[in-house]
Structure 1
Amino acid sequence: MVRIAGTSEEVELSSGATCRDVLSRALSKKRLKEVVACRCQDQLLDLGSRLDQDCQSLEPVVMTSEDGLKVLRHSAAHVMAEAVKTLFPTAKVTIGPDIESGYYYDFDFERPFTPEDLEKIEARMAESVAADHPFERMVVSRDEAKRIFLDMNETYKLEILEDLDEDSVSLYRHGDFVDLCRGPHLPSTGFLKAFKLTSVAGAYWRGDENRPMLQRIYGTAFATPKDLKKYLAQLEEAKKRDHRKLGVQLDLFSFSEEAGPGMPIFHPKGALIRTILEDFERKEHLRRGYQIVQGPQILRRELWEKSGHYDNYRENMYFTDIEEQSYGIKPMNCLSHMLIYRSRRRSYRDLPLRYFELGRVHRHEKSGVLHGLLRVREFTQDDAHILCRPDQLQDEIISIVKFVQDVMDLFGFDYEIEISTRPEKSIGSDADWDRATNALGQALKDLGLDYSVNPGDGAFYGPKIDVKLKDALGRKWQCATVQCDFTLPERFDLFYTGEDGQRHRPVMLHRVILGAIERFLGVLIEHYAGAFPVWLSPVQARVMSITDAQKEYVQKCLQKLRKAGIRVDADIRNEKLGFKVREAQLEKIPFVLVAGEKEIDSSGLNVRLRGGKNLGMKTIQEVIELIYEEMDEPFKKGGMSYRYLY
Structure 2
Amino acid sequence: MSDIKVVLAHADAREEKTVTTGTKAWELFAGDDSVIAARVGGVLKDLAYEVGDGDEVEGVAIDSADGRDILRHSTAHVMAQAVQQLWPEARLGIGPPIENGFYYDFDVETPFVPEDLAKIETAMRKIIKENQRFSRRPVSDHDAIAELKDEPYKVELIGLKGSGKGEDAAEGASVEVGAGELTIYDNIRRNGDVAWSDLCRGPHLPTTKRIPAFKLMRSAAAYWRGDEKNKQLQRIYGTAWETKEALEEHLHRIEEAERRDHRKLGRELDLFSFPDEIGSGLPVFHPKGGVIKRVMEDYVRQRHIEEGFEYVGTPHIAKEGLFYTSGHLPYYGEGMFPALDVDGMDYRLKAMNCPMHNLIFRSRQRSYRELPLRLFEFGSVYRHEKSGVVHGLTRVRGFAQDDSHSYVTPEQAPAEIQHLLDFCLGLFRDFGLDDFYLELSTRDDSKPDKFIGSDEDWELATSVLAKVATDSGLELVPDPGGAAYYGPKISVQARDAIGRTWQMSTIQYDFNQPSADRFDLEYVAQDGSRQQPVMIHSAKFGSIERFIGVLVEHYAGAFPPWLAPVQVQGIPVAERHNDYLYDLARQMKARGLRVEVDDSDDRMQKKIRNAQLQKVPFMIIAGDDDVEAGAVSFRYRDGHQENGVPVAEAIARVVAAVESREQV
Q: TM-score range by the shorter chain?
A: over 0.9
Residue 114 (structure 2) pairs with residue 115 (structure 1): yes
Letter in 2 for 1:283: Q
Letter in 2 for 1:80: M
Is the 2:572–2:578 Cα contact (8 Å) retained in structure 1?
yes
1:170 Cα deviation (Å)? 1.3
**Aligned match of 2:577:** 550
**Aligned match of 2:632:** 605
**Aligned match of 1:470:** 495
Is the 1:480–1:515 Cα contact (8 Å) retained in structure 2?
yes
423, 433, 436: which one aligns with 1:415:
436
1:272 Cα deviation (Å)? 1.1
560-569 or 102-111, larger mean C-alpha shift: 102-111
Aligned-partner SS, 1:338: helix
**Aligned match of 2:25:** 19
**Aligned match of 2:9:** 5
1:393 Cα deviation (Å)? 0.4
Is the 1:34–1:62 Cα contact (8 Å) retained in structure 2?
yes
Residue 530 (structure 2) pairs with residue 503 (structure 1): yes
Is the 1:263–1:376 Cα contact (8 Å) retained in structure 2?
yes
- Indicate how the Cα distance of structure 1 residues 53 and 303 shifts in structure 2: closer, same or farther if over 3 A, else same: farther
Aligned-partner SS, 1:358: strand
Aligned-partner SS, 1:554: helix
Aligned-partner SS, 1:558: helix
Letter in 1 for 2:263: R
Is the 1:129–1:193 Cα contact (8 Å) retained in structure 2?
no
Residue 378 (structure 2) pairs with residue 358 (structure 1): yes
223, 231, 236: which one aligns with 1:212:
231
Q: What pairs up with 1:282-361 in 2 under 5 angstroms? A: 282-318=301-337, 319-361=339-381
1:215 Cα deviation (Å)? 2.6
**Aligned match of 2:185:** 172
**Aligned match of 1:39:** 39
144, 158, 163: which one aligns with 1:161:
158
Residue 85 (structure 2) pairs with residue 81 (structure 1): no
Separation (CA, whole Å) in 1 of partners of 2:569 and 2:462: 52
Is the 2:436–2:474 Cα contact (8 Å) retained in structure 1?
no
1:497 Cα deviation (Å)? 1.0
**Aligned match of 1:148:** 147
Is the 2:6–2:52 Cα contact (8 Å) retained in structure 1?
no
**Aligned match of 1:30:** 31
**Aligned match of 2:269:** 250
Percent of pairs with identical residues: 44
Separation (CA, whole Å) in 1 of partners of 2:359 and 2:34: 61
**Aligned match of 1:541:** 568
Deviation string, structure 1 residues 273-322 (Cα, Å, up to 9, x no partner): 11111111101000000011111211222221122211111111112221
Separation (CA, whole Å) in 1 of partners of 2:361 and 2:662: 34
Residue 49 (structure 2) pairs with residue 49 (structure 1): yes
Is the 1:308–1:427 Cα contact (8 Å) retained in structure 2?
no
- Indicate how the Cα distance of structure 1 residues 52 and 387 shifts in structure 2: closer, same or farther if over 3 A, else same: farther
Separation (CA, whole Å) in 2 of partners of 1:127 and 1:480: 48
Separation (CA, whole Å) in 1 of partners of 2:229 and 2:299: 44
**Aligned match of 1:482:** 507
Is the 1:479–1:516 Cα contact (8 Å) retained in structure 2?
no
**Aligned match of 1:642:** none
1:488 Cα deviation (Å)? 1.1
Q: What pairs up with 1:427-442 in 2 under 5 angstroms? A: 427-442=452-467
Task: Say how many residue pairs are matched.
Answer: 628
1:539 Cα deviation (Å)? 0.3
Is the 2:507–2:536 Cα contact (8 Å) retained in structure 1?
yes
1:96 Cα deviation (Å)? 1.3
**Aligned match of 2:416:** 396
**Aligned match of 2:394:** 374
1:576 Cα deviation (Å)? 1.1
Letter in 2 for 1:630: A
Deviation string, structure 1 residues 70-117 (Cα, Å, up to 9, x no partner): 111111111111112222223222111111211112223233221111
Separation (CA, whole Å) in 1 of partners of 2:226 and 2:256: 30
Separation (CA, whole Å) in 1 of partners of 2:246 and 2:411: 50
Deviation string, structure 1 residues 131-164 (Cα, Å, up to 9, x no partner): 11111111111121111221x2x22112211110
1:573 Cα deviation (Å)? 1.5
- Indicate how the Cα distance of structure 1 residues 320 and 463 shifts in structure 2: closer, same or farther if over 3 A, else same: same
Is the 1:95–1:105 Cα contact (8 Å) retained in structure 2?
yes
Deviation string, structure 1 residues 514-542 (Cα, Å, up to 9, x no partner): 11111111111111011000100000011
Aligned-partner SS, 1:232: helix
- Indicate how the Cα distance of structure 1 residues 72 and 548 shifts in structure 2: closer, same or farther if over 3 A, else same: same
Residue 197 (structure 2) pairs with residue 193 (structure 1): no
Residue 471 (structure 2) pairs with residue 446 (structure 1): yes
1:8 Cα deviation (Å)? 4.7
Aligned-partner SS, 1:118: helix
Deviation string, structure 1 residues 219-238 (Cα, Å, up to 9, x no partner): 11111101111111111111
Is the 1:132–1:190 Cα contact (8 Å) retained in structure 2?
yes
Separation (CA, whole Å) in 1 of partners of 2:261 and 2:576: 40
Residue 248 (structure 2) pairs with residue 229 (structure 1): yes
1:420 Cα deviation (Å)? 0.8
Q: What pairs up with 1:514-529 in 2 under 5 angstroms? A: 514-529=541-556
1:605 Cα deviation (Å)? 1.5
Is the 1:199–1:218 Cα contact (8 Å) retained in structure 2?
yes
Aligned-partner SS, 1:489: coil
Separation (CA, whole Å) in 2 of partners of 1:73 and 1:442: 36
Is the 2:358–2:519 Cα contact (8 Å) retained in structure 1?
yes
Letter in 2 for 1:168: E
TM (normalized to structure 2)?
0.92
Separation (CA, whole Å) in 2 of partners of 1:91 and 1:369: 28
Aligned-partner SS, 2:520: coil
Separation (CA, whole Å) in 2 of partners of 1:301 and 1:71: 48
Q: What pairs up with 1:567-586 in 2 under 5 angstroms? A: 567-586=594-613
1:474 Cα deviation (Å)? 0.3
Aligned-partner SS, 2:422: helix
Separation (CA, whole Å) in 2 of partners of 1:305 and 1:53: 57
1:205 Cα deviation (Å)? 2.3
Is the 2:591–2:655 Cα contact (8 Å) retained in structure 1?
no
479-488 or 193-202, larger mean C-alpha shift: 193-202
1:581 Cα deviation (Å)? 0.3
Is the 2:380–2:398 Cα contact (8 Å) retained in structure 1?
yes
Aligned-partner SS, 1:593: strand
Aligned-partner SS, 1:457: coil
Separation (CA, whole Å) in 2 of partners of 1:47 and 1:552: 77
609-618 or 445-454, larger mean C-alpha shift: 445-454
**Aligned match of 1:643:** none
Separation (CA, whole Å) in 1 of partners of 2:368 and 2:183: 60
1:212 Cα deviation (Å)? 2.4
Separation (CA, whole Å) in 2 of partners of 1:331 and 1:463: 19
Letter in 2 for 1:579: K
Is the 1:546–1:577 Cα contact (8 Å) retained in structure 2?
yes
138-147 or 202-211, larger mean C-alpha shift: 202-211
**Aligned match of 2:67:** 68
1:199 Cα deviation (Å)? 2.0
Deviation string, structure 1 residues 241-276 (Cα, Å, up to 9, x no partner): 111111111011111222111111211111111111
**Aligned match of 1:641:** none
Is the 2:573–2:604 Cα contact (8 Å) retained in structure 1?
yes
Separation (CA, whole Å) in 1 of partners of 2:491 and 2:180: 39
1:52 Cα deviation (Å)? 4.8
Separation (CA, whole Å) in 2 of partners of 1:566 and 1:353: 36
Separation (CA, whole Å) in 1 of partners of 2:284 and 2:558: 21
- Indicate how the Cα distance of structure 1 residues 632 and 214 shifts in structure 2: closer, same or farther if over 3 A, else same: farther
- Indicate how the Cα distance of structure 1 residues 366 and 110 shifts in structure 2: closer, same or farther if over 3 A, else same: farther
290, 303, 324: which one aligns with 1:271:
290
- Indicate how the Cα distance of structure 1 residues 576 and 174 shifts in structure 2: closer, same or farther if over 3 A, else same: same
